[in-house]
Chains A and B, each alone.
Chain A
Amino acid sequence: MMDERTGSMFDPLQRFLERLATIMPVLFAVGVVLIAGLLIAWLMETLVRLLLRSLGFDRIREQAPVAEALRRTSLRATPSVLAGHVMRWVIVVVTLLAALSILSAEATDAVLAGLIHYLPRLAAGLILIVLGFAASSFAARSVLIWAVNSELHGARWLALGVRVVVGVFFLALALENLGFGREVALVVLAILLGGAVFAAALAFGLAGKDLAHESLERMLRSARDEDRDTLSHL
């Protein structure tokens, strides 16, 4: 009687230990892969950073478009450090996938299949966002410079408007590419464009009528010969 009770009490513990004995090597393997992967990631990051720095890769910072992009994104790190970070995160992701494959091959396959299926869209979406950022910055700056040199009022707001419209246009393209809310993106764009025109009309017609009057008056004055500079700059 006593033996039966003792046996039934230890059975679950025995099963647990058996299961643990089966899982432990797997967990150990996962741990080893994670630690090794993270070490390799750190090592490769350092190697890439030192190698690129010694090759003078950081000099690309001096080129206007790169300098401008780094400044706009508030990235203070040097290009070699950034490349090192990218290398580290790529290795970390590969390490995680390898660890996952040890735990469950099916889950890994499912995750990988999903990633591979979505990667082209994700890449295209990211490229569109980066392009949109560059295009909106360029357009906004061009408009700002033109507006100030043309003596227009509200140059900053005009540039901001152009930045928003161009940025939203590219964001809508990126979202559509990723498969999110196609209609929503288009509607947002239409609302923004229509809204901008409506707001400008209202501002000129109602709230900013004095400003509009002054601006138009100045435009007319500058178009008249008597108010025009006649000096030859060259």
Chain B
Amino acid sequence: MSETAILSDEALRLVRDIGQADIVVGIPSFNNGGTIAHVARAAAAGLVKYFPDRVAVLVNSDGGSSDGTPELVAATDVGAARTLLLRHATRPVHKLVTAYQGIPGKGSAFRTIFEIARHLNARACAVVDADLRSVTPEWFELLLGPVLQEDFDFVAPLYSRHKYDGTITNAIVYPLVRALYGRRIRQPIGGDFGMSGRLAAHYADQDAWETDVAKFGIDIWMTTTALVGDFRVCQAYLGAKIHDAKDPGAHLADMLVQVTGALFRQIEAQEPFWSKIEGSEPVPDFGFRYEVGLEPVNVNVERMRTTFRNGVREFAELYAQVLGPETLAACERLAAGPDEAFALPADLWVRIVYDFVIAYHHRRLLPDHLLRTLTPLYLGRTASWVNEAAGYSAADVENAIDQLCRAFEERKPAFLHAWREGRTVP
């Protein structure tokens, strides 16, 4: 697709009218009428408050909402926040509301934002989810400041989260990204990112927009692409992340397929990069950490254990093609054991995840089937984590996750051998 086809004629005309900008803030949306006005106002207030001398453009890249989301952004008075601020903007915040072109999905919405940033020759760009309830003007200082003032290229978010929240991130995505790519980016799929104009243009230039990246998995794609491209990476503490409740009909298995599928594809494609890396190193942090009150979380551990047991029993034939004999036997022992002793230890979980990555690479099962069969094992690990972390403070939680990541790092050499030889991890 040519550059002109990526942007609609109307968007191109508006971009030409604006000419040049220092900052682009992108909000991808699809039926986010309940929250998007708040996100747009927070963004405008942040831009006016923290970057009053910069030319800024607020872009809403919409996927054909039927609830009037684009109209709400268009109607939002981005100047109203001035009354709350000490400083007045010397330059107005421009608004650009456009429907993205191409394959429906968050990735295509981001592509449009990156193209607009490139056309405007922006120095910094930030993207935030449209369903955020906890977003504040400070988020934009934290996502854009490290780029404009410290010359970082990629700013990942850091959030305060309930110890039972973000289990896919904590148990799979963060440990794998840290162990394989060697950088401790705590929220690789956070959804709210800051980046330099150079990195936004780099993203736009990638040959990935006609693949699944256009639909889902854009977050992990952005993070790993920044790491592989040797861009300067940091993270910024944004506080609590509260967003609209997801669709209750959205199935965990579908979510796992999307997230792990996107991550495993990146791992497969970027082997020359990560195979040379040993250990991991922290990335610079920005932002002031503080305690936040978090909403209570309901967890039905019994149901998770039941799904784990059913999965180990019913998927035995499939797991035999994916997991090593010892790993499978350990799962079967755990499934047959009593509830009180139910604990899926870190070492076993590391072998399970690595074996799934290898099975995906060597196509031991159809990818969709393979990734869906991870669901019961993941729920087993989550049930185990809920038991383990019941009395943990926030610091204990981070320590335990750090231990898990170290276990991933220690087993990486064995994983690499197994990956190359098509075996399971010993």
Q: How far is the CA of A49 from the CA of B92 in the complex (A)?
A: 75
Contact residues, B257-296 vs A (CB, 8 A)? 259, 296
Q: How far is the CA of A231 from the CA of B304 in the complex (A)?
A: 12
Q: How far is the CA of A140 from the CA of B259 in the complex (A)?
A: 25
Contact residues, B363-384 vs A (CB, 8 A)? 363-366, 369, 372-373, 375-376, 382
Which of A64, A222, A232 contacts B165 (CB under 8 A)?
Answer: A232
**Chain A 121-160 interface mask (CB, 8 Å, partner B; 1/0):** 0000000000000000010011011101111000110000
User: B300 on the interface (CB 8 Å rule)?
Assistant: yes
Q: B298 to A149, Cβ gap below 8 A? A: no
Q: How far is the CA of A231 from the CA of B314 in the complex (A)?
A: 26
Q: B307 to A149, Cβ gap below 8 A? A: yes
Distance between A60 CB and nearest chain B CB, rounded to angstroms? 11
User: B215 on the interface (CB 8 Å rule)?
Assistant: no
Which residue of the partner chain A has the closest CB to B298?
Answer: A230
User: A68 on the interface (CB 8 Å rule)?
Assistant: yes
Which of B166, B167, B259, B315 contacts A145 (CB under 8 A)?
Answer: B315
Q: B253 to A149, Cβ gap below 8 A? A: yes
Contact residues, A50-91 vs B (CB, 8 A)? 62-65, 67-68, 71
**Which residues of chain B are within 8 angstroms of A222 by Cβ–Cβ distance?**
303
Q: How far is the CA of A71 from the CA of B364 in the complex (A)?
A: 11
**Which residues of chain B are within 8 angstroms of A144 by Cβ–Cβ distance?**
314-315
Q: B189 to A234, Cβ gap below 8 A? A: yes
Which of B168, B189, B314, B369 contacts A156 (CB under 8 A)?
Answer: B314
User: A5 on the interface (CB 8 Å rule)?
Assistant: no
Binds A, one of B14-22, B244-252, B344-352, B392-400: B244-252
Contact residues, A160-202 vs B (CB, 8 A)? none
Q: How far is the CA of A142 from the CA of B259 in the complex (A)?
A: 19
Q: A231 to B297, Cβ gap below 8 A? A: yes
User: A11 on the interface (CB 8 Å rule)?
Assistant: no
Interface magnitude class on chain B: 35 or more
Instruction: Decide: A148 near B364, CB < 8 A? Known: A231-B165, A233-B166, A234-B255.
Output: no
Interface magnitude class on chain A: 20 to 34
Instruction: Decide: A151 near B248, CB < 8 A? Known: A64-B363, A142-B369, A145-B369.
Output: no
Distance between B44 CB and nearest chain A CB, rounded to angstroms? 27
Q: How far is the CA of A155 from the CA of B306 in the complex (A)?
A: 13
Q: A151 to B306, Cβ gap below 8 A? A: yes
**Which residues of chain B are within 8 angstroms of A71 by Cβ–Cβ distance?**
321
Q: How far is the CA of A149 from the CA of B304 in the complex (A)?
A: 10
Q: How far is the CA of A151 from the CA of B255 in the complex (A)?
A: 16
Q: B373 to A145, Cβ gap below 8 A? A: yes
**Which residues of chain B are within 8 angstroms of A138 by Cβ–Cβ distance?**
366
Q: A67 to B315, Cβ gap below 8 A? A: no
Binding site for A on B (CB under 8 A): 162, 164-169, 189, 246, 248, 251-253, 255-256, 259, 296-300, 303, 306-307, 310-311, 314-315, 318, 321, 362-366, 369, 372-373, 375-376, 382, 422
